[in-house]
Amino acid sequence: MQIHLRKLGYLPGGPTEERPELNVDLRDGDDAEIVKGGLVVETVPSTADVCFSLQAVPNYPPLLHELARHFELSNTLVPAVQRFLYNQLNPDAEIMGMATDLDLCPMIDPFDTRVSVYHSAACLIQAPSNPSGPNGMCREYIRASPNWRNTGPRHDCVLIDGDPENSGFLGFNVGQVHFFFRFQWNDKMYDCAFLQWFEKAQTTACPNMGLWMVQPQVNLRKERVCSVVHIDTIYSAVHLIGSTGAGPTPSQLRGDITLRAYRTYYVNKYANSTLFELLK
């Protein structure tokens, strides 16, 4: 096992030779279908780039108030969009997110705001230890689908840019994507994700596992804390492992309810080389 982990670069003593750059055109194949702001992505970003596909998913309600009712978020989605717009217009505000007073937020007409829904986003991320892509680039998909490949719901978790003054996991936040959507306000398009948040369960990583732990974030009414974020703030997908304690994992536990079944979760930095580098 140690030899295998060294080869992957997870332990000291692995291969350190420089890998040659690969002359690969990222516009070939599936990448030609990935767009951002209406343009095909043609350049390799320095850290991460998240984009929707060309086509939105059909048969979703076309207006914001109808979409809120569809997702049973009648009292949540529109205020979350208003606070999102306030954050976009005031990036240096002292109070951000769901703590923002709605009276300070821009007005939006949910009966006239058209929306499009997406079941996935492509994330092109730089992982220097990844030998496969040019300059260490690799691509992954973040899913938010009510029925992924006919196996039931799949709502992936993501790392969100947090405090830039902290390094490693302390510089990120963790959320679970409920759905991706795009809307237009004041002649500008916004590509967004509606998230349910997790918060850090401890101030340090677990001494036994070496992994950070998170727990579902709830408000004073014990409701999950949710908000809208721009997909530009998404750094990568992240894998959470439920903390079972001393007991075994129930055999009947399905994947679509795993992220609601436990009180705390390990943030799995061993899922891939990208996370291992980020979450040290």
Question: pLDDT, tens digit, for every residue of 251-280?
Answer: 778 777 889 889 999 999 998 877 887 787
Quote the DSSP letter at residue 18: P
Q: What is the mean pLDDT of the chain?
A: 82
On whether the CB atoms of residues 194 and 177 are closer than 8 A, the answer is yes
Mean pLDDT of 185-189: 96
Read off the tokens for 118. 């997406």
Q: Which two tokens stand for residue 278?
A: 């980020």
255 Cβ contact partners less than 8 Å away, ≥ 6 residues apart: 151, 152, 154
* Partners of residue 226 on adjacent β-strands: 196
For residue 167, the model assigns a pLDDT of: 84
Q: Are 214 and 240 in contact (CB under 8 A)?
A: yes
Paired strand residues for 236? 159
Residue carrying structure tokens 């994947």? 255
What phi, psi does 151 have (nearest 5°)? -110, 5
Q: Confidence class of residue 80 from pLDDT cuts 50, 70 and 90?
A: very high
Q: What is the dihedral of CA 257, 259, 262, 264, to 10 degrees?
A: 180
* Beta strand pairing call for 188-200 and 213-216: antiparallel
Q: What is the mean pLDDT of the segment spanning 35-41?
A: 37
Mean of the pLDDT values across residues 218-229? 95
Nearest to 176 by CA among 161, 157, 159, 194: 157
- Give 99: exposed, middle or buried? Use CB within 10 Å, 0-12, 13-18, 19+: exposed
How confident is the model over 94-143, as pLDDT tens digits? 877 778 899 999 999 999 999 999 999 999 877 666 665 666 677 889 99
**Total residues found in the chain within this entry:** 280
Distance (Å) of CA 59 to CA 104, 118, 204: 34, 11, 45
72 vs 28, which has greater pLDDT?
A: 72
| Runs of H (alpha helix) within the chain | 2-8, 64-70, 77-89, 258-261, 273-278
Name every residue whose Cβ is closer than 8 Å to that of residue 118 and which is 6 or more positions away in sequence.
Answer: 52, 53, 56, 57, 144, 179, 180, 181, 182
- 68 class by beta-carbon count within 10 Å (0-12 exposed, 13-18 middle, 19+ buried): buried
In this structure, the strands spanning 34-36 and 39-40 are antiparallel
